Amino acid sequence: LTADQMDAQSLAIADARVQAELGAGRTEVFEVFPLFGPYPAEWSACSTGACYQVDIYNFDSEATVTAIVDQATGQVLDVWHTDGVFPLVNKRLYNRAVEIIQQSPDVEAALGFVPEAAQIRLMDQIHMDSQCDGDRLCAGATFYSDSGALWVLVDLVDEKIEKIWWSDRPVDMSSALYNPKPEREPEDCGTTIHVARDGWNLDYRTTPTDALEITSVTYNVDGVDRPVATRMKLVEWHAHYPSGFGYRDYIGCGGGGGGFAIYPYGNTQVLDINSGDAVIGFEVVQDFRMSNWGNSCNYRYEQHFQFFDDGRFRVVTGAYGQGCGNNQLNEATYRPVVRIDIAVNGDDNDSFAVWDGATWADQTTEAWWLQEAPYTAEGYRYRVTDQSGVGYYIEPGQGQFGDGGTGDNAYMYLTQHHASEGDSDMPLLPNTGCCNNNYMQGPQSYIDGESTTDQNIVLWYVPQSETITTWAVQNGYGDAQYCWTDNTSNYWPCFSGPMFVPIPESPPTAVSLSTLAANDGLEPTQGGFTLVLVLAAGLSMAIATGFLLRRRNLAAQQASNVLDRH
């Protein structure tokens, strides 16, 4: 830790609210992260850039307490408590889990040798038939031998081996799995980069555990940079296997030596989006992969934030595999948890609606939905609008986007915004795990009946993509591979994510000539009642008599254009 991080840690530990939230029991600081904007009102002091997020875990209550610390002023700005979650595991605990595995006679008996530290790659592993079913602090490692795949699950609360079991080894296992190469150090971390292009303005950075994050998104409409979204990110991946085990994967830069993060591979890229020979937008892309990707149980993920010249945008996630099953039918279903802090024309006064087959049904309180018909003729399922009438239709993936995705089958969650629910780097989500086949993917924990009419709202989007392996295709269980990697040259990612389509804005129903004068250089010179009526249906126009219009340094054609636009 730096001196400033140490100071922030000390301030958090000494705070009376932190102590009250922690209560009795064994506690330990897991991480101290710099806090990046944009900041909610209650954290506005952080605009100086001197704030830190301090995550403290209570082993006995199995809860995390988070403190937001303004190190420059010595103040703790905010404190909250989350049951049943743990932050990114620190280096001490990571090393302790390695020791427990190496010292276990059961592991040695199963493998026939004591594994070296370099052969142990820990992940946030879950088995539903164990104490480590999602809420408990655990870590797991997988070992491959000629006999199969050995799974070792470590309980880090009681510091013991929780479960050991065998599964079939991959049918085409390569020798690289016996002695995996170490993970590469992450690149391109913690730096905020601004993009101004095609009417869009935004910032991006790679976070410790919440992947690539896009913030402060605006789009220029008629010369005005209109807010679109405050923060968009991917909180975690759920990789669920049919036999009841799996992983929750962080992707990001990690916390400096510990944890289970899957690191970024190379720098974030800003790439053109093409349609034929034409460039129609751009995308911000980050690749995340384990160093042994291409082998079983070594994952690769991608994020694409796509922004189009016409004002549309799409939030895309992709999984490549290779999973930890047998490379046949016992492979993963991938569920990324995406958080979209939408800000239509600003954070406040947003509302959400669902298409019911005949009309848009406004949703007045927090809720969740599983993607299903009915859709509009254009394929829209949801709508988000501001009081001003500005808004977006939301088009879930149904295989229409040309990126190989076959449909999102996604859960959508609607919640009222709270800073403690994602404005900082998030620990694991509460009340979920890798392996729930229902709506309990984590965001449901934030649904408690609050109003979502004319509010600051957050959308959570959780697609579901099932792996189809090469073996499955060759044996008639699928038409094409999906979420799958044979090797680093042959792979078939599964991409998912919703498109946000701007709602066409109706022309104003009435506008004064004074407004025309202010906006377009025309002024009334005499007369009484001056009003221009624009009828929305036919866009016809009637101008009251009794006035004259005089040009103010504008050509006649410009005046004609002014009237056409209004």
Give residue-wise pLDDT tens across range 152-202.
999 999 999 999 988 876 655 554 455 566 666 676 788 999 999 999 999
- State the pLDDT confidence band at 565, using cuts at 50, 70 and 90: very low
- State the pLDDT confidence band at 523, using cuts at 50, 70 and 90: very low
Q: Is 234 within a domain?
A: yes
The answer to whether 430 touches 445, Cβ cutoff 8 Å, is yes
Q: Is 174 within a domain?
A: no
Q: Would you state the structure tokens that stand for residue 293, as one six-digit string?
A: 């990707």
Whether 491 and 532 map to the same domain: the answer is: no
**Cβ-Cβ contacts under 8 Å for 521 (sequence gap 6 or more):** 552, 553, 554, 558, 562
- The last residue of one of the domains, among 482, 502, 522, is 502
**CATH code for the domain of 132:** 3.10.450.40
| For range 501-525, the mean pLDDT | 53
Whether 554 and 450 map to the same domain: the answer is: no
Position 546 scores a pLDDT of: 31
Q: Which domain holds residue 13?
A: 3-83
**CATH code for the domain of 58:** 3.10.450
Place of tokens 């530990």: 13
Q: Is 467 within a domain?
A: yes
Higher pLDDT, 410 or 515: 410
Q: Would you state the structure tokens that stand for residue 522, as one six-digit string?
A: 């025309």
Whether 57 and 27 map to the same domain: the answer is: yes
Q: Is 176 within a domain?
A: no
Q: Is 446 within a domain?
A: yes
Task: Reply yes or no on whether the pLDDT at 397 is more than 80.
Answer: yes
The domain total for the chain is 4
Task: Reply yes or no on whether the pLDDT at 558 is more than 50.
Answer: no
**CATH code for the domain of 333:** 2.70.98.20
Give residue-wise pLDDT tens across range 71-120.
999 999 999 999 999 888 888 999 999 999 999 999 999 999 999 998 88
Whether 393 and 514 map to the same domain: the answer is: no
546-to-28, 524, 527, 529 alpha-carbon distances in Å: 79, 10, 5, 7
Whether 226 and 160 map to the same domain: the answer is: no
The answer to whether 302 touches 285, Cβ cutoff 8 Å, is yes
Share of the chain above pLDDT 90, in %: 69
Q: Is 172 within a domain?
A: no
Share of the chain above pLDDT 70, in %: 85
Q: Would you state the structure tokens that stand for residue 371, as one six-digit string?
A: 């993607």
- State the pLDDT confidence band at 222, using cuts at 50, 70 and 90: very high
Give residue-wise pLDDT tens across range 306-330.
999 999 999 999 999 998 888 888 8
Q: Is 356 within a domain?
A: yes
The chain-wide mean pLDDT, for the chain, equals 87
Whether 451 and 516 map to the same domain: the answer is: no
Higher pLDDT, 122 or 230: 230
Whether 414 and 530 map to the same domain: the answer is: no
Whether 39 and 151 map to the same domain: the answer is: no
Packing angle, helices 513-520 and 556-565, rounded to 10: 120
Q: Is 179 within a domain?
A: no
Calpha distance 189→187 (Å, rounded): 6
Give residue-wise pLDDT tens across range 14-52.
999 999 999 999 999 999 999 999 999 999 999 988 999
Higher pLDDT, 192 or 513: 192
Whether 78 and 108 map to the same domain: the answer is: no
Angle at 222 between CA 220 and CA 223, to 5 degrees: 60
Cα 416 to the center of its chain, rounded Å: 17
Whether 422 and 556 map to the same domain: the answer is: no
Task: Reply yes or no on whether the pLDDT at 231 is more than 60.
Answer: yes
- The last residue of one of the domains, among 483, 502, 521, is 502
Position 517 scores a pLDDT of: 39
Whether 128 and 96 map to the same domain: the answer is: yes
The answer to whether 215 touches 410, Cβ cutoff 8 Å, is no
Whether 266 and 351 map to the same domain: the answer is: yes
